[in-house]
Amino acid sequence: MQWTDEGIVIGAKRHGEANAILELMTREHGRHLGLVRGGFGSRLKPVLQAGNTVSASWRARLDEHLGNYTVEGLSLRAASFFSASHAIYGVTHLAGLMRLLPERDPHAGLYHALDEILGHLDDAVLAAPMVVRFELQLLSELGFGLDLEKCVVTGASGDLVYVSPKSGRAVSRSAGEPWSDKMLRLPAFLRERDAMPIGHDLADGFALTGYFLARHVLEARGLTLSDERAHFIAALNRALPSVA
């Protein structure tokens, strides 16, 4: 068995003295692991940093085997993340989200979204709403997508400002106002692709995606929202006070 693909590094663990078990989110083959000989050596270690993009060739005798990678760096952007704490926590959080996907299950849309975020991760203004949208996209890919197109009560598509925590469907302002204290807020930037968050939109966005990630994805696995996510949001709060 053999293939070559583009992949984003989401983790690498030492194996033996100098080898590494490399975990990639690949474009065509999903989240995939493999052994890199000399991966913790001086030449390859900088390449195998989370957030970098590599060209990877995987080879194994049988498909179910761990197999071996040979890799070549394509975009070594990980070093740029060290200049901003939100970027350091952000790449760790994104890697954790990728581990929620079944191994070797292709998700090309998520791959391209992840690649786009990593290209802007050092810019908190751009990266913050992209990560919220990414969490929303991940929910959809895992089969728990939210319906934000029309009000679950009236069927109207305008003035949608809430999401029902029970159904995961949008609710209009007029229909949801009597139960506003029980509703999750729906920021406009999650419905309008080109909209930018204002005020407390980012905090509302993270609260929304965090609620459904915890309820539908993490609790069933005995997990909770990660410390990395909390650290990422806290770092964004320092850079962008409106996240609080």
Q: Tens-of-pLDDT digits for all 244 residues of the chain? A: 899 999 999 999 999 999 999 999 999 999 999 999 999 999 999 999 999 999 999 999 998 899 999 999 999 999 999 999 999 999 999 999 999 999 999 999 999 999 999 999 999 999 999 999 999 999 999 999 999 999 999 999 999 999 999 999 999 999 999 999 999 999 999 988 788 899 899 999 999 999 999 999 999 999 999 999 999 999 999 988 766 5
Provide the 10 A C-beta neighbour count for residue 221.
8
Question: Given this model, what pLDDT does residue 244 score?
Answer: 55
Report the distance separating Cα 170 and Cα 168, nearest Å: 7
Q: Which residues contact 16 (CB under 8 A, 6 or more apart)?
A: none
DSSP for 214-235? IIIIIGGGT----HHHHHHHHH
What digits encode the pLDDT tens for the residues 5-22?
Answer: 999 999 999 999 999 999
H-helix or E-strand containing 159? none
Question: Given this model, what pLDDT does residue 194 score?
Answer: 80
Report the distance separating Cα 12 and Cα 24, nearest Å: 9
Domains, the chain: 2-76 (2.40.50.140), 83-148+186-243 (no CATH)
Q: Which residues pair with 185 in a beta bridge?
A: 162
Residue 77's closest CA among 115, 108, 39? 115
Report the distance separating Cα 24 and Cα 227, nearest Å: 22
Q: Which residues pair with 35 in a beta bridge?
A: 21, 68
Report the distance separating Cα 89 and Cα 4, nearest Å: 29
Q: Could you tell me the pTM of the whole model? A: 0.94
Residue 205, phi then psi, degrees to nearest 5: -65, -45
H-helix or E-strand containing 56? strand 53-59
Residue 127's closest CA among 86, 69, 183, 80? 86
Contact 225, 213 (CB under 8 A): yes
